[in-house]
Amino acid sequence: MPNLKQFTLSFKLLSMSVLLVVNISQGNPPTKIPLLVSTEWLSEQLDNPSLVLLHIDRRGAYDEKHIPGAKYISLRGLIERKSKDNLSDEIPSSSKLDSIFESLGINEKSLIVIYYGNEMLIPSASRLFLTVDYFGLGENTHILNGGLTSWITENRPTSTDVPNIESSNINANLKEDLLVGADWVFQNLQTSDIVIIDARPVEQYSGKKKDHGSWKAGHITGAVNIPFYELTQKESPHLFLSDTELEKRFMEVGVKENSTIITYCGTGIWAGPVYVAAKHLGYTVKFYDGSFEDWSAHPDLPVTGPVKRGWFK
């Protein structure tokens, strides 16, 4: 006999299918483009004048081959160490984001698609999406599921041409409530509809290993664990799991339909795929930018783990 979680998942997927059929039968297009898009969908958008296609990888890899029309972007410019708290991989100021996105020709009407050069860049591409979402452009931003690997495997065209870029003017519409800090997380540790997800590997989550940069080993007390790499397919790690499999993975750690997800990792990169997958499925999701590097630096904040040791031990 199916359990309640299986029934809820089946009903949710059935409802989505019925809505799509109704839209098509009425001559209406699907209501929303999914966050994770296919190679077929992207190939149909290459001539779209609103398209801004972003290739995230090493510059040399981009120069060797990329999807026609793609612009190169590095995550390095979109993360920084803030001297105030001495934390790694923090989201930069809105003025810096303004400058970067304008240099890429992005505006409020852009259709932004991010793709990764290989599966190792999925966390970077996901963190880029998170940053664009924070900037206020997430509704028109997507990630190519499978990245360049899928594109090439399907014998789709590549190019070495670097497109001319006309800079744009854009004003940030920051989603301030997307980011949360240690105080907010602490105040909501016992909130029933909030699920805190640690995206680090099991060894770091359990405390068997300590992150480089963290003051203690373990995890935020009450957090559950979905290692970021468990959201991709084992045989084809450049691809995210199917929607059904993603939904199942979140349900397994206690996420419900009305849950708000808080994701974190060591410094804020590995949390990206959890953020993307949750957002893709329609959950409300927030990001603890300071992550465990920040949490573990506060002696009064609760940490669960078999080992608690200082920075120099």
Longest Cα separation, the chain = 66
Q: What proportions of the chain, in percent to the nearest 5, are helix, strand and coil?
A: 35, 20, 45
Nearest to 135 by CA among 165, 106, 168: 106
Judge whether 220 and 214 are in contact, CB under 8 Å. Answer: no
For 17-52, the pLDDT digits (tens) are 444 443 433 445 455 899 999 999 999 999 999 999
Q: Provide the 3-class DSSP secondary structure of residue 66.
A: strand
Domain range annotation of the chain: 36-153, 177-304
Third-level CATH fold of 177-304 = Oxidized Rhodanese; domain 1 (3.40.250)
Architecture of domain 36-153: 3-Layer(aba) Sandwich (3.40)
Whether 36-153 shares its CATH topology with 177-304 is answered: yes
Q: What is the C-alpha to C-alpha distance for residues 120 and 178, in angstroms, rounded to an integer?
A: 25
Angle in degrees, CA 57, 122, 111, rounded to 5: 80
Angle in degrees, CA 148, 153, 158, rounded to 5: 55
For 193-251, the pLDDT digits (tens) are 999 999 999 999 999 988 877 788 999 999 999 999 999 999 999 999 999 999 999 99
Q: Which amino acid is at 271?
A: A
Judge whether 98 and 127 are in contact, CB under 8 Å. Answer: no
Spell out the residues 6+ positions from residue 143 whose beta carbon is closer than 8 angstroms to its own.
35, 36, 37, 113, 114, 115, 116, 125, 126, 129, 276
Q: What is the C-alpha to C-alpha distance for residues 46 and 303, in angstroms, rounded to an integer?
A: 48
For 100-113, the pLDDT digits (tens) are 999 999 999 999 99
Contacts 24+ apart (CB under 8 A), 90-96: 90/268, 90/289, 90/290, 91/131, 91/134, 91/179, 91/268, 91/289, 94/135, 94/172, 94/174
Q: What is the C-alpha to C-alpha distance for residues 78 and 99, in angstroms, rounded to an integer?
A: 11
For 138-188, the pLDDT digits (tens) are 999 999 999 999 999 999 999 999 999 999 999 889 999 999 999 999 999
Amino acid 84: pLDDT: 63
What is the separation, in whole angstroms, between the first and last Cα of the chain? 52
